[in-house]
Structure 1
Amino acid sequence: MKKIIFIFSIIISFLSTLSAQTTLKKSTMIGGEGGWDYLSVSAEDRRLYVSHSNQVEVLNVDTHEKIGSIPDTKGVHGIQAVPAIGKGFITSGQTNSVIV
């Protein structure tokens, strides 16, 4: 029991140290209805892909401006852009499919 309490106190101390060192630099409001899921960053083209309900929101990483959206992606989860081949891959939980 003493070991568990010791380990738990170490974890709490570590987590409180992390939160003290983290600061919010900028907040971006995207808006819209529905929930949010995963984020994906493409370092090559400096884009942030945000899964949002039934679409993917695309933002410029540097300016936080909305570049566009990819509609009709029901139950969107993960997004992976591959700029080298000019394609992206989106997983859809509702249709159990991958959209290219």
Structure 2
Amino acid sequence: RVSGALLFIFLPFLLFLFDQSLTSELSFEVFRGFLSNIIVKLVVLVLGWAFLFHFCAGVRHLFMDFNHDLAAKEKAKSTSLVVVVLSTVLTIAFAAKLFGAF
């Protein structure tokens, strides 16, 4: 619920960033300068985590809709752990890209 709330609250900010990156070449350079700020990078990283976690949890729920055995207590615990681990790994990869590791 936290990841969905973060995405909803910061939707105007995300749309602003998207608009700035596509308007023109000059606005893209302004966008790159804005994104070079460490605070903005951290906000984008948190929003990236929220999106990745929300996406992985959504895929989990889709699988649970197709296979009702996954909704059993033990399977639900294990699939929730998979969601946390997978979203963490994806967030680390996103952070490495965001902060220039590759």
Classify the TM-score, shorter chain.
under 0.3
**Higher normalized helix content (fraction of residues):** 2
TM-score (norm 1): 0.23
**Higher normalized strand content (fraction of residues):** 1
* Greater relative contact order (CA < 8 Å, ≥ 6 in sequence): 2
